[in-house]
A and B are shown apart, each in its own frame.
Chain A
Amino acid sequence: MTTIEKPVPVVNPWAKPFWDAANKEKLVFQHCKGCDKNIFYPRIACPECFSDDLEWIEASGKGRVYTYTVVESNAPSAFVGDMPYVIAIVKLEEGVQFLSNIVGCDPHSVVCEMPVEVVFERLNDAFTLPKFTPMQG
């Protein structure tokens, strides 16, 4: 059986700092100096106040599971070998939210509002994906 390569993120130029930071095992997001809002995913202008005055800041990496699912069948071709795997929407302490996988635990132990922290998984030479694992302690 041939393995199908994992899809890599199709990167928008203005999001490149996010992926460059991930490669250095740092989780970053944008912050608007105009209205003080945190922004994810990266935008060309603040989605709240439309300011161009955006900066990158490093996330604490801590958050909670807003919702989750354990994929047990009918995965996309490249993920068939990973089943069962957990897809979750994680809300960071800083208020931004995004999709990731919960790793390093029994997939069926994940629940809503579970505290999690970021870990980094190297996808290939070019990409590292931020994933999450249950917070220790």
Chain B
Amino acid sequence: MGKNAKRAAFIGIGEVPTGRFPETAAIYHAIESAKLAIRDAGIDKDEIDYVMPTASLYSPAFNTELVTCRIVEELGLKNVNKNCQVFAGGSSSSCALQLASSLIETGKAKTVLFVHADRLGTGVTAQGGIDLFSTAGISAEWEVPFGQHYSAIAALATNRYKFETGCTDEELSAVCVSNRKWARLNPNAFFNKKDITIEEVMASKMLSTPLRAKQSNMLFDGGGAFVLTSAERAPDLCPRPVYILGEGGTVTHFVYSQEPDVSRFGWAKAGKKAFEEAGLTPKDMDVAEIYDSYPIYQMIGLEELGFCERGEAGKLFVSGDTWPGGRLPCTTNGGMLSQGHTGAGGAVALLIEAVRQLMGKAGDRQVRDARFAVETATGGTYMDAQVTVLGTEIP
């Protein structure tokens, strides 16, 4: 018990399919995901004492409902003492996880329900989405006037990385191939019907050089939820709880053009802290759920965390090492590139996938005997690097 006393654990996860659901109310994605997570945990819904929704981007009115306890009332949760939104853009899941586990570790909360839902697939128009992502988190004084946009931001990192490492467009495209192979095995992924080839990726429309349309995430509707409790209680409730073993974060910028190194960011420092706290190394990881809003970030993430040398990540995606059956299963839900991007939910889905793999609930894409996983998240214009190490045992 000693080691367990000071930790939190996942006991349930829930997720709805990522896609376009114009007939469905946004709140459905939140409460259905939450319902699935509570049932997965096998607890009475009234054991939830803390609800932590993250933000929805598509509608301020819907987000206000999340802030003002709609999830609690819709689900009829009778013993909630706080409903408190935690939002850090794409890093929301990591930040919420750290806060929720701290509340549990200090006894301020017993059972925390985290929920995400958004409707970026049907709640905004295509150009509306582009305009949202050319202003949200982008400096209105120093970047918006120059036509900045998230595709351009990814392209700026990609060009510098290519310049410094010699990485090829084929290698960048191979990230999409790898993630699509995983998505094919994921019923909740939007792009799960057919494989994609390097040639198809490279023939797709140029967005911002060298970034092409099929190297870009797409925005969809979706939701996810998880339930946390103390590591002490978890084994009584869940046959295979997942423990939070290590966590590390680095904030590097607000204005993207102030980032000192757009081909590294803060991943190395954040990863080192997370692995040290866990007492583990990249070699111990059975699964790596690496943030992939664009291929460049998944490559940099693997390298900076220490899974391979700088400039070598591309080879892992080309060779099949990162594919189903490979030696380094990476972003096994298909990621934002193939499951789909749901705003703050991109990394929520990765975190849920890490837990799903460790709980042994990943179906056709289950990585056999997965015991340890690392998951990464980043928000805004890659303003921070958040790394979480999880495991089915406390080493």
Contact = CB atoms under 8 A, between A and B. Distances in A.
Interface of A: 6-12, 15, 40-41, 66-79, 82, 85, 87-89, 97-101, 108, 111-113, 123, 127, 129
A76 B147 CA distance: 6
A99 B142 contact: yes
B145 A7 contact: yes
Nearest to B141: A9
A112 B160 contact: yes
Interface string B226-252: 000000000000000000000000000
Interface stretch (B58-66, B255-263, B268-276, B332-340): B255-263
B258 A41 contact: yes
10 contacts: A8-B145, A9-B145, A70-B209, A71-B149, A72-B208, A76-B135, A76-B144, A89-B257, A98-B257, A123-B145
Given A7-B145, A67-B160, A82-B147, 16 more contacts: A9-B145, A69-B156, A69-B211, A70-B208, A70-B209, A72-B209, A74-B207, A75-B147, A76-B135, A77-B130, A78-B147, A87-B146, A89-B262, A98-B258, A99-B142, A108-B209
A111 B162 CA distance: 11
A76 B143 CA distance: 12
Nearest to B205: A73
A117 B130 CA distance: 30
B208 A71 contact: yes
A129 B146 CA distance: 9
B192 interface: no
A74 B145 contact: no
B131 interface: yes
A59 to B, nearest CB: 15
Question: Which among A12, A71, A112 has the greatest number of chain B C-beta atoms within 10 A?
Answer: A71
Interface string B122-147: 00000100110011000111111111
Contacts of A74: 130, 149, 151, 207-208
A115 to B, nearest CB: 15
A108 B206 CA distance: 13
Contacts of A8: 145
A88 B209 CA distance: 12
B208 A87 contact: yes
B37 interface: no
B206 A75 contact: no
Question: Which among B130, B152, B156 has the greatest number of chain A C-beta atoms within 10 A?
Answer: B152
Given A11-B141, A123-B145, A99 B256 contact: yes
A127 B148 CA distance: 18
Interface string B154-196: 0111111001000000000000000000000000000000000
A72 B211 CA distance: 10
A76 B158 CA distance: 20
Question: Which among A12, A79, A85, A101 has the greatest number of chain B C-beta atoms within 10 A?
Answer: A79
A81 to B, nearest CB: 11
Given A10-B140, A15-B141, A69 B148 contact: no
Q: Which 10 A-B pairs rank lowest in CB-CB distance, beginning with the nearest?
A: A69-B155, A76-B134, A99-B257, A67-B160, A79-B147, A10-B140, A112-B163, A69-B208, A70-B209, A72-B206
A76 B130 contact: yes
Contact of A71 (B141, B145, B147): B147
B142 A98 contact: yes
Contacts of A70: 208-209
Nearest to A130: B146
Contacts of B151: 71, 74
A40 B260 CA distance: 12
Nearest to A88: B156
A127 B156 CA distance: 26
B17 to A, nearest CB: 26
A15 B205 CA distance: 39
A72 B163 CA distance: 20
B146 A101 contact: yes
B141 A77 contact: no
